[in-house]
Amino acid sequence: MPQTASIASVAQSIGLNVPIVGNGPAFTPNLMDTPAGPALEQNFYTATSMAPPSLEAEGVTEFLTAYEEEYPDEEPIQNGAMYGYASAQIMHEVLTRACDEDALTRDGLLEALRSITDYESGGTVAGVLDYSDPAVPPTREVYISKADSTVPGGLTAVGEGYTSDLAEAYEFAG
């Protein structure tokens, strides 16, 4: 993440005013309190399947409310706390399905995971999740978010979840 701040700062210092796009752990809201903050706010975007903590969606709002109650002086991080919460939602669904089938074995858990074909996370993960085919990702949709120092987590979603034509058409071989 220091690399993200460095890129944004150097680009701004030489007058390069272009979007900077990161994925995964390229951003943390702590960067907004550094000298790179204004450059990030001007040009930094991220593409990730995890929702930004500021997204107004049922699952994200539940997460943010609980997080702020437990950690009132902390900033929720998309690739930390939000990722953990979304992962726990999915694991809860897997365990519930395995328990319903009285199949708390490795094979039972795998079967429960593969039975998930239309999981709605309440917005914590972009898109509807389908784990039935291990050769493809459970979703091809992402959130595009922009750095924003005024919201929890330092990121604001730019529109709804997004799937590019290329991502939609890509065929996994293997």
Residue 119 belongs to a domain with what CATH number? 3.40.50
Residue type, 137: P
Nearest to 29 by CA among 144, 148, 123: 148
* Host domain of residue 56: 2-163
Asked if the model's pLDDT at residue 25 lies above 90, the reply is no
Are the C-beta atoms of 148 and 41 separated by less than 8 Å? Answer: yes
Mean pLDDT of the residues in the chain: 94
Is 129 within the bounds of a domain? yes
Domain membership of residue 174 (yes or no) is no
The pLDDT of 48-57, averaged and rounded, is: 94
The count of structural domains within the chain is 1
Measured from the Cβ of residue 1, the count of other Cβ atoms closer than 10 Å reads: 13
Q: Which amino acid, one-letter code, is at 165?
A: D
Instruction: State the burial class of residue 13 (Cβ atoms within 10 Å of its Cβ: 0-12, 13-18, 19+).
Output: exposed
Residue 174 has pLDDT above 80, yes or no: no
State mean pLDDT over 59-74. 95
- Please give the model's pTM, rounded to 2 decimal places: 0.89
Q: Is the pLDDT of residue 49 over 70?
A: yes
Please check whether residue 66 lies inside any domain of the structure.
yes
Q: Kindly state whether residue 171 falls inside one of the protein's structural domains.
A: no
What pLDDT is attached to residue 47?
95
